[in-house]
Structure 1
């Protein structure tokens, strides 16, 4: 893993996010890479497509 300043803060470098029911999703911030320089802006501000249980759909 790269240096701590390059790790995605949203997924902590894992590339996956988990909800309270332990469903895992690809991180939308780093696109599953796990790395994102902390000095860059998040350009992907589009709404996520969700189902009736508010789970993110791919």
Structure 2
């Protein structure tokens, strides 16, 4: 595999979609809907701190 298909996206488990608590599906923001991330993209997407309701903290 090459390019953006180096590693399966852990956020969406390779499906390219995420689901919220009301079961709405939307494009994965980590892999941009590809289902895979390259080792270079993985380095760009550092883990972000979140609070208990998954809001990002700055």
TM-score range, shorter chain: 0.5 to 0.7
The count of corresponding residues between Structure 1 and Structure 2 is 41
Residues 32 and 9 of structure 1: is their aligned pair in 2 closer, same or farther, counting only changes over 3 Å?
Answer: same
- Larger relative helix fraction: 2
Where do residues 1-58 of structure 1 align in structure 2 (5 Å cutoff)?
A: 6-37=7-38, 40-41=42-43, 42=45
TM-score (norm 2): 0.57
Provide structure 1 residue ranges, at least 5 long, that are not aligned to the other structure: 46-58
Q: After TM superposition, what 4+ stretches of structure 1 lie above 4 angstroms from structure 2?
A: none
- Structure 2 unaligned blocks of 5 or more: 49-58
The two structures have a TM-score, normalised by structure 1, of 0.57
Q: More strand per residue: 1 or 2?
A: 2
